[in-house]
Chains A and B, each alone.
Chain A
Amino acid sequence: MTTLYVLDVPENVAVATVAEEDPAVTVGHRGDYFEITADGPIVIDRRATGCRHAVWYSCVAGVARDGRITQHDKNALRVDPV
């Protein structure tokens, strides 16, 4: 299981929306955070989100210990199960 938290502010909504396009990924809420979960990897395409670098590189609020960021660059954010 991988769990990624993203703060629910206007600039970050597209991050959650793009994540949810993968049927293996579930997007819920915990308070004002998007709680993005999957049994396997979570992969979010940066261009699909429309985020530019200031938001893109600061959009992650937390990654639970059963997952780890393995890619966070201009192309994608990827969280893999540990």
Chain B
Amino acid sequence: MSEQDHRVRGVDHVAFPTFDPAATVRFYRDVLGFPVVHSICAAGWGPENHPDFIHFFFDIGNGDRIAFFYYFGTPPEVGGPAGEKGDVHARFGADVPEYFVRSRHLAIHVDSEEDLLEYRRRLDASSWPVEMQIRHETIESIYTHDPNGYMFEITRALRPVLPQEDVDAELTVDALLDVVAEPEPTFGKLLARKAELIASRVPV
């Protein structure tokens, strides 16, 4: 367990590029109802031929924000050739497995089933309908892709996280660090190491 005090207060902002600000504003502001809360209009500067840009922010609840950069005069090809999979920032070939393509995503929290279904209703009435609604036994989520191809999830917890789950997570991470420090880490080796940590650290 970390002995250091925990001072941070959530996400200030997470930022992504967009080449389609009109659709991005429609999706986040008009479809989802996320207020526009901040923007920066900046002339390009610096040594790297930085284009002029607009940086605009949407409130995602809790005072946290999702932000986008729109660069004037900059085509999507600035990020390389279009990918068969992925989004405007992460471009992947057709052979890259879906689990990897989907691994990096943003999940926004709601408190209730009513709230989850309200966002489902808003998305389903838009050009970006919900692609999946999945109940993973302890959480329930809806998923779609935003106009930039970014995977977008809204999720709710079906029960609170219990204290023993935090303890278990610490043992998992410690076991993981031990296993990845050795050659050829496997899931079986992790479970064996975690069993040792449970036996040695958890009182009977």
Contacts and interface: CB of A to CB of B under 8 A. Distances in A.
Nearest to A64: B195
Given A61-B168, A69-B191, A5 B137 contact: no
B81 interface: no
Instruction: Please report whether the interface of chain A is mostly helix, strand, loop or mixed according to DSSP.
Output: mixed
Nearest to B165: A9
A78 interface: no
Interface in A1-39: 3, 5, 7-11, 29-33
B22 interface: no
Interface stretch (B43-51, B148-156, B177-185, B196-204): B196-204
B192 interface: yes
Interface residues of A, number: 24
A55 interface: yes
B194 interface: yes
A19 to B, nearest CB: 16
B159 interface: yes
B164 A7 contact: yes
A64 B168 contact: no
Contacts of A29: 204
B1 to A, nearest CB: 15
Contact of B198 (A9, A10, A30, A65): A30
Contact of A63 (B136, B171, B195): B195
Interface in B134-187: 136-138, 159, 162-165, 167-168, 171
Contacts of A51: 137
13 contacts: A7-B168, A10-B159, A31-B167, A31-B204, A32-B202, A51-B137, A54-B137, A54-B138, A60-B191, A61-B198, A62-B196, A62-B198, A65-B195
A5 B198 contact: yes
B183 to A, nearest CB: 17
Contacts of A10: 159
